[in-house]
Amino acid sequence: MLNKDSVKALDVQSTWLQDYVNSPEKQKTLYKRTLFVVSISQIFGGAGLAAGVTVGALIAQQMLGTDAYAGVPTALFTLGSAGAAWLVGRLSQRKGRRAGLATGFILGGIGAIGIIFATLLNSVFLLFLALLVYGAGTATNLQARYAGTDLANAKQRATAVSMAMVFTTFGAVAGPNLTEAMGKVALAMNIPALAGPFILAAVAYILAGLVFYIMLRPDPLLIARAIEERKQKADKQGRTKTFVPTTNKKGVTVGATVMILTQIVMVAIMTMTPVHMKHHGHDLDEVGIVIGFHIGSMYLPSLFTGILIDKIGRTAMTIASGFTLLSAGLVAAMAPSDSMVLLVVALSLLGLGWNLGLISGTAQIVDATEPSTRAKTQGTIDVWIALAGASGGALSGMVVAQSSYAVLSLSGGILSLILIPVIIWARGGAEENKIKIDQGL
């Protein structure tokens, strides 16, 4: 039974909630504020995720003494991100974006601290365990993109995702280029140099979590859900002709498939690039430059891709993603091992193709779901994306060990072409989706 204080608190919550539900102006202001908060957190989140990409494979190579399992760190933190995606999605569904995103980022920071201790103790077991927890930061960094879409209309959704992602660029590009500097910081603290980037990751992820916990008030998902409930209630009472969207299973399937395929291709090629470069005489600074361009290309094009996806359409940009990833695989496969320029071009194309696929796929998921179940669905889909990335990371080392980096790159490029028949199949439901878009839902 609720006491008087609890009843009073619920009344206060109901009052401010209704203020937002009844005021389009307040919704617009909150939408802009949410994008600002997400953008700030993504700067820190981008710096955190770059550590695992840049030196994770190198730490495993050093500890295990073989290239065959160099893809395991990426597989592990990607696998960890799968579990975290499920957790963050369910927590967001129950408590709102603030609780889910803050928890996920702080867990990622704890995982980064665990990796530092693993290198100090030279413990492979602790390294693998910490990498699983570190993956929570990767999952949360991706799920944060959804927060900006909660109060966006259909013609703003891809743009909202891109606004969140573009700010990831600042941290994501800075992270790899601070590899050498953070290595010196680590050495000054009597920590192995390769663990240096994870010092940055620990601080960055925890700061990102605190930004969400402190600043994401009121919660945009809770407001969106209340708005949807009011529309449904009004429709039942016959006061309005409001169209109530339902989950479009075909749209969800297509959006998920697009993101899963792009994730497999991107992770597989990206994971083995630092190892390939180290084998051919490139130093850590050069690895950082190539990965920096790659991660920059994953996020910086969001300045334009979100707008293009909203204006040109999800279908056209998904096809563009497939051809861009194919180009990346071809360039990486044919590039001379000592050519920094061609490696930069290949990894930049890889990042751009991933960007096009992720934003168009995300927009399709938001189009196909409703606020009452959206966070749970998004979390579930991100689980499959993470598992796909884990598979790509784990298999990439084995493919290279048994054949070559060129074979891996070419295989990834060819795999990306599957996006085209998938999106053609999806066009069967295009007219239905167009109706929803035109109605601004």
Whether the predicted pLDDT of 233 surpasses 80: no
- Phi, psi (deg, nearest 5) at residue 112: -60, -40
- Phi, psi (deg, nearest 5) at residue 273: -65, -45
CB atoms within 10 A of CB 16: 12
Cα dihedral sign for 123, 128, 133, 138? positive
Q: Give dist(CA 210, CA 206) in Å, integer.
A: 6
Q: Give dist(CA 200, CA 182) in Å, integer.
A: 7
Percent of the chain predicted with pLDDT > 70? 87
Q: Which of 436, 103, 381 is nearest to 262 (CA)?
A: 381
CB atoms within 10 A of CB 189: 12
Q: Which of 393, 389, 386, 313 is nearest to 356 (CA)?
A: 313
Q: Which of 334, 354, 353, 332 is nearest to 343 (CA)?
A: 332
User: Is residue 400 within 8 Å of residue 67, measured between CB atoms?
Assistant: yes
Residue 335 is given by DSSP the state S
Q: Tell me how far CA of residue 289 lies from CA of 54, 73, 141, 162, 164, in angstroms.
A: 10, 21, 22, 23, 23
pLDDT in tens, 384-395: 888 887 788 778
Q: Give dist(CA 343, CA 225) in Å, integer.
A: 46
Q: Which of 171, 170, 168, 151 is nearest to 160 (CA)?
A: 151
Whether the predicted pLDDT of 242 surpasses 70: no
In terms of residues, how long is the chain? 441
Q: Tell me how far CA of residue 425 lies from CA of 261, 274, 378, 428, in angstroms.
A: 16, 37, 22, 6
pLDDT in tens, 337-377: 788 899 999 999 999 999 999 999 988 898 888 887 888 88
Q: Give dist(CA 227, CA 413) in Å, integer.
A: 43
- Of the two residues 64 and 38, the one the predictor is more confident about is 38
- Report the range of poorest mean pLDDT among 1-10, 135-144, 183-192, 266-275: 1-10
Q: Which residues contact 190 (CB under 8 A, 6 or more apart)?
A: none
Q: Give dist(CA 39, CA 166) in Å, integer.
A: 8
Q: How far is CA 49 from the centre of its chain?
A: 10
Which amino acid is located at 210 in the chain?
L
pLDDT at 320: 93
Token couple for 255: 């959006």
Cis peptide before 218 (omega within 30 of 0): yes
pLDDT in tens, 71-113: 677 678 778 888 888 999 899 988 899 999 999 999 999 999 9
Token couple for 29: 């202001």
pLDDT in tens, 195-229: 888 999 999 999 999 999 999 988 888 888 888 88
Query: SS3 of 181, please?
Result: helix
Going by pLDDT thresholds of 50, 70 and 90, the confidence category of residue 10 is very low
User: Is residue 285 within 8 Å of residue 54, measured between CB atoms?
Assistant: no
Of 84-93, 156-165, 286-295, which one has max mean pLDDT? 84-93
User: Is residue 364 within 8 Å of residue 146, measured between CB atoms?
Assistant: no
pTM above 0.85, yes or no: no
Going by pLDDT thresholds of 50, 70 and 90, the confidence category of residue 251 is confident
CATH 3.40.50.2300 fits 25-220+245-438, yes or no: no
Q: Give dist(CA 72, CA 394) in Å, integer.
A: 5
Whether the predicted pLDDT of 280 surpasses 70: yes
pLDDT at 66: 67
Token couple for 105: 């980022």
How high does pLDDT run on average in the chain? 82
